[in-house]
């Protein structure tokens, strides 16, 4: 079987990963990850403490080489979210950077340092196999990535090796992505966008990635002006770039020189597309994906960039729109909207420990995305909305309203709680908490509630605005009428 990372097997001396002043070539990565893989081998599952560091990239590559499913863990997970992910995925080992301080939920696991003290371990010379473990079967699970639903705790999407390989190779085709590409990247490493596209993508191509640690516009401009060719970001990042670029000729020049600017994880508003195009002469292209499906569509590098669309189905991906009764929509008329359903080698296999949820997610072999779209006459897909109002996309993160409501209801100062999303120019949507206080005279402050959610779940799930009510609007069945809240 061909290796998942050909450039590692070939011991390429070209740069592979750079995080700040720490960097590895493909050959050095092969040595470091190969040695760690030997220590991971045999584990049932391995958690990776997914800080935006070189350690995370080495840990994930090592687990892939060892054929052990890896669970990337948000290092900012709150107590409840972390306890759920650890209990549900039941890893037996955890990989972290040498200096990382792990919370009690992970401290009980056998801990492996991603990178030992330098120098790097020696490696047998290149050649078939080249001292790396044999390539596991394509159907074996590569990663388990947690993703929020409308209610309940996040579910672990089990992503097999073939899905990761299929999506990255379809993007090679769509984006003309080669070993000469150098990616600038500032996304978190515990989701598909940052980890699979941003780290595994360049490594599979034999190219390289420079990770900024945290997003900052100057860092993006600096790297694009010094050899980097691509930038992947969420719309919030492009919005901040659009706000800055008109008054920043250095940034405009850096973006103008990029080979490819890609946005994804949420819709990039047409206004931001236009502002960036006007200031740089460059068009951002959008691709559409999901944790469960990896990438489904993209505007091609050699295609017509069109603001407001996510382009065409990727190679190997079948995409259909269905109407409310589940019948396929044949029209390519730019106006008939239906739910996007997809099929192809890019799909996950199941939600871990959730056969009920897995079954509900498919219909006749098609995965129901819950996203609503229309198709232009030439096949370009335009996403126009989402079926579930209880899913919020904020900063490119998918966030379930129910999960936050449950945590708010655990606060002693809260009698009733509802969570909704409201349009936000920077985040796309902003989380709003509607609260009926237990003691109307002394309601918990907005800051206190935000801190409570951040401590239990994650900082990006915290409400940005809290509104206090005497009662929540409910229908005759007692169900909260969320649409009435905004009215
Ligand atoms: C704030 N912070 C707090 C609190 N308030 N911490 C604890 N308690 C609090 N009450 C901290 C935050 O952790 C953060 O720390 C800092 O304050 C700012 O937080 P925040 O306001 O949330 O940051 P932001 O400015 O809103 O961040 C914008 C962002 C971020 C950088 C665009 O949203 C982001 O990285 N988004 C990427 C999402 C993503 O990767 N999505 C992919 C999933 P510090 O500053 O130290 O961090 S979707 C996917 O994978 C599919 C397949 C797809 O299609 O791509
Ligand atoms: P996640 O579940 O976090 O993987 O997020 C997947 C969801 O992000 C999809 O179901 C879409 O709703 C949304 N999404 C991803 N890319 C785009 C895009 N380019 N335009 C609009 N929505 C997107």
Q: Structure tokens of 319?
A: 């995409």
Q: How far is the CA of 336 from the centre of ligand 1 (A)?
A: 34
Q: What is the pLDDT of residue 131?
A: 64
Protein residue whose Cα sits closest to atom 45 of ligand 1: 214
Q: Would you state the pLDDT for residue 133? A: 80
Do strands 182-185 and 110-113 pair parallel, antiparallel, or not at all (unpaired)?
unpaired
Average pLDDT rounded to a whole number, residues 316-343: 97
Residue 450 beta carbon below 6 angstroms from any ligand 1 atom: yes
Question: Could you tell me the residue ranges of all domains in the chain?
Answer: 6-160, 208-386, 391-486
Ligand 2 center to 91 CA (angstroms): 28
The ligand 1 atom nearest the CA atom of 451: 10
Judge residue 248's burial from the number of C-beta atoms within 10 Å of its C-beta, 0-12 exposed, 13-18 middle, 19 or more buried.
Answer: middle
What ligand is nearest to the CA atom of residue 342? Answer: 2
DSSP conformational letter for 74 = -
Q: Distance, CA 265 to ligand 2 centroid (Å)?
A: 4
> Whole-angstrom Cα distance, residue 241 to residue 263?
12
Residue nearest to atom 12 of ligand 2 (CA): 371
Query: 208-386 and 391-486 share one CATH topology?
Result: no
* Whether residue 289 has its Cβ less than 6 Å from ligand 2: yes
Is the pLDDT assigned to residue 321 strictly greater than 80?
yes
Residue 130 is predicted with a pLDDT of: 55
If you classify domain 6-160 with CATH, what class do you get? Answer: alpha beta
Q: Decide if 367 contacts 343 (C-beta within 8 A).
A: yes
Spatial separation of the C-alpha atoms in residues 363 and 354, rounded to whole Å: 16
Structure tokens at 25: 């070539």
Highest mean pLDDT among 149-153, 302-306, 317-321: 317-321
pLDDT (0 to 100) of residue 486: 84
Ligand of minimum distance to the alpha carbon of 381: 2
Instruction: Give the Å distance between the CA of 250 and the centre of ligand 2.
Output: 31
Residue 113 backbone phi and psi in degrees, to 5? -75, 135
Q: What is the pLDDT of residue 128?
A: 47
Residue 121 clears pLDDT 70, i.e. is over it: no
Average pLDDT over the chain, rounded to whole?
Answer: 95
Q: Is the peptide bond before 119 cis (omega within 30 degrees of 0)?
A: yes
Q: Cβ distance 231 to 220 under 8 Å?
A: yes
Pick the CATH number of 208-386 from 1.10.260.40, 3.40.50.150, 3.40.50.620, 3.40.50.12780: 3.40.50.12780
Enter the DSSP assignment of 460. Answer: G
Does residue 265's CB lie within 6 angstroms of at least one atom of ligand 2? yes
Regarding the beta carbon of 234 and ligand 2, being less than 6 Å apart is answered no
Question: 460 C-alpha to center of ligand 1: Å?
Answer: 5
Indicate the top mutation candidate among 217, 265, 272 to test ligand 1's pocket, ranked by most ligand atoms within 8 A of CB.
265
- Say which DSSP state 231 is in: E
User: 123 pLDDT band (50/70/90 cuts)?
Assistant: low
Cα(453)–Cα(80) distance, integer angstroms: 10
The terminus-to-terminus CA distance of the chain in angstroms comes to 58
CB proximity list for 200: less than 8 A, separation 6 or greater: 60, 61, 64, 164, 168
Ligand nearest the Cα of residue 192 is 1
By alpha-carbon position, which residue is closest to atom 5 of ligand 2? Answer: 290
In this predicted structure, what is the pLDDT of residue 122?
A: 62
> Best substitution site from 459, 462, 465 to test ligand 1's pocket, by max atoms within 8 Å of Cβ?
459
Q: Whose CA is nearest to atom 21 of ligand 1?
A: 460
To test the ligand 2 pocket, which listed residue (154, 267, 290) has its Cβ within 8 A of the most ligand atoms?
290
**Region 31-47: what's the mean pLDDT?**
95
Q: How far apart are CA 9 and CA 278, in angstroms?
A: 44
- CA-angle at 394, arms to 393 and 398, nearest 5°: 45
The ligand with the least distance to the CA atom of 391 is 2
Cβ(397) – ligand 1 distance below 6 Å: yes
Distance CA 59, CA 54 (A): 9
178-226 tens-digit pLDDT: 999 999 999 999 999 999 999 999 999 999 999 999 999 999 999 999 9
Is ligand 2 within 6 A of the CB of residue 264?
yes
> Does the pLDDT of residue 118 top 70, yes or no?
no
- Does 126 have pLDDT greater than 60? no
User: Which pLDDT score, from 0 to 100, does residue 247 have?
Assistant: 96
pTM: 0.96
Range name among 103-112, 126-135, 160-169, 329-338 with the lowest pLDDT average = 126-135
- Measured from the Cβ of residue 377, the count of other Cβ atoms closer than 10 Å reads 9
For residue 458 and ligand 1, the question of a CB distance below 6 A is answered with: no
CA atoms 330, 332, 333, 335: torsion sign: positive
Inter-residue contact 435 to 449 (CB < 8 Å): yes
The DSSP-derived string for 280-329 is HS---EEEEEETTTEEEEE--TTS---TT---EEPTT-EEEEE-TTSPBP
What does DSSP assign to residue 461? G
Give the model confidence (pLDDT) of 231-285 as tens digits: 999 999 999 999 999 999 999 999 999 999 999 999 999 999 999 999 999 999 9
197 Cα to the center of ligand 2, angstroms? 14
- Rounded Cα–Cα distance for residues 30 and 400 (Å): 38
Q: Which fold does the domain 391-486 belong to in CATH?
A: GMP Synthetase; Chain A, domain 3 (3.30.300)
Per DSSP bridges, beta strands 285-290 and 414-424 are: unpaired
From the alpha carbon of 192, which atom of ligand 1 is closest? 50
Residue-wise pLDDT for 412-471, tens only, equals: 999 999 999 999 999 999 999 999 999 999 999 999 999 999 999 999 999 999 999 999
């Amino acid at each position: 079987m061909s290796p998942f990372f050909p450039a590692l097997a070939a011991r390429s001396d070209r740069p592979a990963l750079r995080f700040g002043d720490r960097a590895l070539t493909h050959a050095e990565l092969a040595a470091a990850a190969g040695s760690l893989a030997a220590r991971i081998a045999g584990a049932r599952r391995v958690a990776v403490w997914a800080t935006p560091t070189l350690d995370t990239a080495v840990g994930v590559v090592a687990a892939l080489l060892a054929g052990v499913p890896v669970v990337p863990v948000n290092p900012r997970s709150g107590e409840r979210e972390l306890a759920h992910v650890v209990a549900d995925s039941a890893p037996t080992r955890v990989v972290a950077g040498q200096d990382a301080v792990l919370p009690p939920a992970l401290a009980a696991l056998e801990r492996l340092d991603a990178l030992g003290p330098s120098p790097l371990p020696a490696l047998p010379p290149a050649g078939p196999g080249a001292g790396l473990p044999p390539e596991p079967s394509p159907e074996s699970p590569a990663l388990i990535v947690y993703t929020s639903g409308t209610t309940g705790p996040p579910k672990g999407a089990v992503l097999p090796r073939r899905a990761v390989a299929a999506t990255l190779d379809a993007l090679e085709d769509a984006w003309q992505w080669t070993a000469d590409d150098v990616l600038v990247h500032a996304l978190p490493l515990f989701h598909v966008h940052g980890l699979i596209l941003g780290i595994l993508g360049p490594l599979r191509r034999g190219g390289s990635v420079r990770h900024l640690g945290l997003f900052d516009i100057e860092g993006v401009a600096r790297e694009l002006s010094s050899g980097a060719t691509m930038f992947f970001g969420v719309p919030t990042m492009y919005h901040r770039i659009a706000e800055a670029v008109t008054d920043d000729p250095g940034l405009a020049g850096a973006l103008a020189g990029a080979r490819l600017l890609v946005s994804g994880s949420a819709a990039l508003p047409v206004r931001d597309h236009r502002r960036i195009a006007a200031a740089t002469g460059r068009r951002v292209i959008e691709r559409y994906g999901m944790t469960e499906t990896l990438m489904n569509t993209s505007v091609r590098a050699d295609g017509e960039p069109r603001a407001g669309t996510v382009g065409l189905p990727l190679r190997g991906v079948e995409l259909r729109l269905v109407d409310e009764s589940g019948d396929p929509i044949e029209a390519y008329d730019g106006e008939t909207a239906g739910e996007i359903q997809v099929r192809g080698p890019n799909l996950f296999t199941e939600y871990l420990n959730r056969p009920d949820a897995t079954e509900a997610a498919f219909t006749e072999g098609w995965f129901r995305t819950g996203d609503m779209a229309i198709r232009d006459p030439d096949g370009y897909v335009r996403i126009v909305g989402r079926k579930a109002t209880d899913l919020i996309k904020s900063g490119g993160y998918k966030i379930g309203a129910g999960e936050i409501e449950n945590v708010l209801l655990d606060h002693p100062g809260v009698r009733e709680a509802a969570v909704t999303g409201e349009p936000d120019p920077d985040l796309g949507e902003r989380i709003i908490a509607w609260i009926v206080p237990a003691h109307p005279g002394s309601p918990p402050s907005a800051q206190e509630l935000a801190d409570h959610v951040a401590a239990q779940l994650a900082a990006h799930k915290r409400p940005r605005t809290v509104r206090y009510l005497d009662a929540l609007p409910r229908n005759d069945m007692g169900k909260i009428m969320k649409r009435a809240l905004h009215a």
